[in-house]
């Protein structure tokens, strides 16, 4: 394992994150604050409680998940697509490191960045709502797993994408709707029965539900199912990464 190379990639990616601090950090925090103002204060003031939790606090896990998933995907996909776009990807291919090390460097940095942003939003939420975390260790574990799995997913998108349009395609057309319809701002039980059934096919429901359980001890689906969903998604991403590693798909002719 070429640890020095992994560290070099990781440091390089993190340096970009801190170099573009406004874009990387202030922007998601501002968005999250706006959600708190609009959903928490304006709309939330007309909703008493959801599952025994104040609406302002109820949306915190969903908001963190929403941000973490989109940030992990965008950071990882852009992180690996950018070298492809500017032509420095060949340097990675000619260096003495295998694809797994490239994945660890890029996806690891993207996961760290998204987790960093997730924690910042969590801290921000304390300024807006009264919040207590029922299962802090489970919350951290869910956060880490989500960051890693979605960073892997973003990495796959970055490898697959042939242009910037494709890079945005899946996050915009697939992930955003799934996250919004995954119970970020509401409980699935608030939906009509038919939509509750349809929602059960949305994998993001399980992730947000599990994360919300870690906060409040209440969930839309059993915690075991949530763990299975996040574990399964991580395994699926690893399988695809393994396939790319073995075949050189989209990376090496």
Contact residues toward other proteins (CB under 8 A) are: 2, 4-5, 7-9, 11-12, 15-16, 19, 82-83, 86-88, 90-97, 248, 252-253
The whole-angstrom distance between residue 177's C-alpha and the CA centroid of its chain comes to: 14
Shortest distance, position 163 Cβ to other proteins, whole Å: 17
Rg (CA), the chain: 19
Shortest distance, position 106 Cβ to other proteins, whole Å: 12
* Sign of the alpha-carbon torsion through 173, 236, 196, 133: negative
By beta-carbon proximity to other proteins, the closer residue of 1 and 38 is 1
By beta-carbon proximity to other proteins, the closer residue of 92 and 159 is 92
Q: What is the C-alpha to C-alpha distance for residues 35 and 39, in angstroms, rounded to an integer?
A: 5
By beta-carbon proximity to other proteins, the closer residue of 8 and 43 is 8
Shortest distance, position 25 Cβ to other proteins, whole Å: 17
Shortest distance, position 161 Cβ to other proteins, whole Å: 18
Shortest distance, position 239 Cβ to other proteins, whole Å: 22
By beta-carbon proximity to other proteins, the closer residue of 4 and 132 is 4
Q: Which residues of 157-172 are buried (b: 16+ CB within 10 A; e: fewer)?
A: bbbbbeeeeebeebbe
By beta-carbon proximity to other proteins, the closer residue of 90 and 189 is 90
> Going by C-beta distance under 8 Å and a sequence separation of 6 or more, which residues neighbour residue 201?
none
Cβ neighbours around 113 below 10 Å, total: 26
Q: What is the C-alpha to C-alpha distance for residues 191 and 178, in angstroms, rounded to an integer?
A: 15
In this structure, what are the phi and psi dihedrals at residue 51, rounded to the nearest 5 degrees? 50, 35
Work out the end-to-end distance of the chain between its first and last CA atoms, rounded to an integer number of angstroms.
23
Under a CB-based contact definition with an 8 Å cutoff, are residues 68 and 118 in contact? yes
Shortest distance, position 193 Cβ to other proteins, whole Å: 51
Shortest distance, position 14 Cβ to other proteins, whole Å: 12
By beta-carbon proximity to other proteins, the closer residue of 95 and 141 is 95
Exposed, middle or buried, 45 (CB in 10 Å: 0-12/13-18/19+)?
exposed
By beta-carbon proximity to other proteins, the closer residue of 231 and 248 is 248
């Amino acid at each position: 394992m070429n640890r020095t190379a992994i560290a070099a990639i990781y440091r390089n990616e993190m340096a970009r994150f801190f170099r573009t601090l406004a874009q990387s950090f202030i922007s998601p925090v501002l968005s999250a604050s706006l959600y708190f103002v609009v959903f928490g204060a304006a709309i939330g003031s007309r909703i008493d409680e959801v599952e025994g939790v104040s609406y302002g606090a109820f949306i915190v896990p969903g908001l963190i998940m929403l941000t973490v998933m989109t940030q992990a995907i965008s950071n990882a996909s852009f992180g690996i697509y950018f070298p492809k776009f500017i032509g420095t990807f060949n340097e990675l291919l000619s260096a003495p490191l295998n694809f797994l090390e490239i994945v660890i460097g890029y996806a690891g940095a993207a996961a760290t960045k998204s987790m960093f942003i997730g924690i910042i939003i969590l801290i921000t939420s304390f300024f807006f709502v009264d919040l207590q975390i029922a299962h802090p260790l489970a919350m951290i574990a869910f956060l880490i797993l989500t960051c890693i799995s979605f960073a892997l997913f973003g990495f796959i998108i970055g490898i697959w994408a042939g242009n910037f349009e494709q890079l945005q395609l899946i996050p915009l057309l697939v992930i955003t709707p799934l996250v919004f319809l995954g119970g970020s701002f509401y409980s699935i039980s608030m939906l009509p029965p038919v939509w509750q059934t349809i929602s059960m096919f949305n994998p993001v429901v399980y992730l947000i539900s599990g994360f919300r359980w870690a906060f409040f001890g209440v969930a839309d689906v059993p915690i075991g199912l949530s763990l299975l969903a996040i574990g399964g998604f991580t395994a699926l991403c690893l399988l695809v990464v393994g396939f790319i590693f073995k075949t050189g798909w989209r990376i090496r002719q």
